[in-house]
Chain A
Amino acid sequence: MSFITAYCQITERSCTINGEIVSEKNEQSGESWFKQLYKELAVDYPKFYKMDLLAQAGFIGSELIKKADQDRLVTYGDDEIALLFANQESSADTDIRFKESYEDKKAPSPSLFVYTLPNIVLGEIAIRNKWFGENMFAVLPKFAPEFFVQYGSILLANDSKAILAGWLGILDGKIQVFVFLVEENAQSGIPLNKENLIKYTGFIDQV
């Protein structure tokens, strides 16, 4: 049986891991909310500052899940962890900024352009962790728990032993991030099914 063994939620104001609040946004800080979360992670990974918000969201979610149980992911082979992510707006947050770079500033920005694909976040997570496993980024009209259950189960029935999955809703200041880990051979956890995904994401209004 496959279990959700860790999950992380990030909204505009707070960040929780396995349902416990770990951070709340400091409105007085001059730093962005994701940079506040990065500093609290206390990892040394300067590439974070070059990432767009979509990639930063996936990076923080994956790092928090690793941090919650330091031994959990190291037992897997470097191609046994699949990445399965989705959202509704693709890379629109950065697409809008890239369009501004050539329409308003008259200088198309190559550093923005390379983030105008939603799967770049998968590349960032793979690079960070040296993971060579399966990748999939899907764009869906709304949060679809069945997609994660069905395709997650398919990946586990093939060669993947664990799945780092997530919904990364990032657009124009809106933050609706849910990153979760599914493991095939876990002893316990939250059974991977539609009802549990609706319950733990809290995206009930969308489904």
Chain B
Amino acid sequence: MTYIGAEEIVSPLGQNTQENFLAVRENRSGISLISDAGFNKESVHLAKITLIETSNKFEFLLVDILKKISANIDASCILSERTIVIISSTKGDLDRDIADPFGPSLVALVKRFKLANQPIVVSNACISGVLAINAGNNFIKAGVYDHAVVIGCDVISDFVLYGFQSLFAVSSTPCAPFDANRNGITLGEGCSAVVLSNTKDIFKNSPLKLFTGTSANDANHISGPSRTGEGLYRTVKRTLEKSEISPDEIDFISAHGTATVFNDEMEAIAFDRLHMSGIPLNSLKGYFGHTLGAAGVIETAISMQMMRNNLLVKSLGYSQSGTSKTLNIVTENMPSELNTILKTASGFGGCNASLVFRKI
């Protein structure tokens, strides 16, 4: 069995898990209007970490989160040759070295913590975080490693913001996932980590049980979501079947919900096809913005906190259904016994991934 725990988050909403979850349960957003940010020097809504002023923000965040994680587990695990560190990120520190966006930061991380194994970077668009957690679980189950530290991190850059602006995909207001008036993403930045292990004892707080996750491609379009939600449908179906969990055992879905018109519609269609549209669901993008490679880890960490606190958290930015298939979006915080949670992600390149975790 694989355990998941020790979650940590650094984001505009706080420097650790407690601060982040407090903000989320108070329905506070990390999104603000940042002046002169856009390609034409226009103001843009972003979820930006303004407290950290450093030229190597990506490296700073990796080091910071690994320090914080070390305090939540038997710290000797970090050094162990039975531990793999997996980084999920789309662009790393491309402002530092565009031809080697991860190299310098990883060299610094390995040296700083004397890591026994070379970290693996999973760079698979917006499913990177969920895919990296699944990869860590797979390595442990195969006996290749005993522990995996999965770190999701992406920072806001002109490169990524101008790119999404060129696609007309940036929301003019703070993003509103699944809402009728949604009109695009709000970029965010953040860093989050979880620890996976085959040993319960390494965790200072009780871990949760992680099931085997899967991924699936839409085989449809490199930048447009499938109109049938095929890839998302397939990965959720496969993950539930492999875990021998039926849809009615899922208490909550932490969806991807980027707030683009087509992505959220695709997800609604997929969950309808899966007969899961009645399950309480949210998107956390209204709190953290879209943190790309970090999103899957941040949203898993917050979902773990929701489970520990038995609290359904409101899907911030949503007021009126805006998808052809109606979903059960959480509109107000609500106490609820959460035993089993499904996390999904979808991204450019037609990729989709999912995972399930459960209270022990």
A116 vs B161: C-alpha distance when bound (angstroms): 13
Residue picked from A132, A141, A154, most chain B C-beta under 10 Å: A132
For A82, give the chain B residue with the smallest CB separation: B215
Pair B100/A136 contact, Cβ less than 8 Å: no
* Interface segment, one of A8-16, A65-73, A117-125, A195-203: A117-125
B124 at the interface (CB under 8 A from A): yes
Pair A110/B167 contact, Cβ less than 8 Å: yes
Give the residues in chain A near B167, CB-CB below 8 Å.
110, 113-114
Per-position binary interface string of chain B over residues 213-247, scored 1 when its CB falls under 8 Å from any chain A CB and 0 otherwise: 01111111111000000110010001000100000
A88 vs B215: C-alpha distance when bound (angstroms): 23
What's the nearest-Cβ distance from chain A to residue B134, in Å? 9
Do A92 and B215 contact each other (CB < 8 Å), given the known contacts A113-B163, A124-B222? no
Give the residues in chain A near B131, CB-CB below 8 Å.
135-136
Do A88 and B159 contact each other (CB < 8 Å), given the known contacts A117-B123, A123-B348? no
Give the residues in chain A near B347, CB-CB below 8 Å.
119
What's the nearest-Cβ distance from chain A to residue B263, in Å? 14
For A114, give the chain B residue with the smallest CB separation: B223
Give the residues in chain B near A108, CB-CB below 8 Å.
39, 162-163, 165-166
Give the residues in chain A near B219, CB-CB below 8 Å.
78, 126-127, 129-132
The 4 A-B residue pairs with the shortest CB-CB distance, nearest first, are A123-B349, A113-B163, A126-B217, A108-B166
Among B144, B163, B242, point to the contact of A98 (Cβ < 8 A). Answer: B163
What's the nearest-Cβ distance from chain B to residue A83, in Å? 8
Pair B123/A131 contact, Cβ less than 8 Å: no
* Interface segment, one of A36-44, A145-153, A180-188: A145-153
Tally of contact residues, B, Cβ under 8 A: 55
Give the residues in chain B near A207, CB-CB below 8 Å.
none
B121 at the interface (CB under 8 A from A): yes
CB-CB contacts below 8 Å: B82-141 with A: 90-92, 94, 98-103, 106, 118, 120-125, 131, 135, 138-139, 141
18 A–B contacts from the bound complex (CB under 8 Å): A90-B92, A90-B101, A90-B102, A108-B165, A113-B167, A115-B222, A116-B163, A119-B124, A119-B347, A127-B220, A127-B221, A132-B230, A134-B215, A135-B215, A138-B123, A139-B102, A150-B144, A154-B144
Pair B217/A132 contact, Cβ less than 8 Å: yes
A159 at the interface (CB under 8 A from B): yes
A24 at the interface (CB under 8 A from B): no
Pair B122/A92 contact, Cβ less than 8 Å: no
Give the residues in chain A near B100, CB-CB below 8 Å.
88-89, 92
Interface size range of chain A in the complex: 35 or more
B317 at the interface (CB under 8 A from A): no
A117 vs B99: C-alpha distance when bound (angstroms): 13
Give the residues in chain B near A136, CB-CB below 8 Å.
122, 124, 131, 135, 215
Give the residues in chain A near B301, CB-CB below 8 Å.
none
A25 at the interface (CB under 8 A from B): no
A151 vs B215: C-alpha distance when bound (angstroms): 14
Pair A79/B216 contact, Cβ less than 8 Å: yes
Pair B217/A133 contact, Cβ less than 8 Å: yes
A171 at the interface (CB under 8 A from B): yes
A118 vs B123: C-alpha distance when bound (angstroms): 7
B20 at the interface (CB under 8 A from A): no
Pair B222/A127 contact, Cβ less than 8 Å: yes
What's the nearest-Cβ distance from chain A to residue B232, in Å? 11
A106 vs B106: C-alpha distance when bound (angstroms): 32
Give the residues in chain A near B120, CB-CB below 8 Å.
138, 140, 147
Give the residues in chain B near A95, CB-CB below 8 Å.
94, 98, 101, 159
Pair B216/A133 contact, Cβ less than 8 Å: yes
Pair A122/B349 contact, Cβ less than 8 Å: yes
B351 at the interface (CB under 8 A from A): yes
For B220, give the chain A residue with the smallest CB separation: A127
Give the residues in chain A near B289, CB-CB below 8 Å.
none
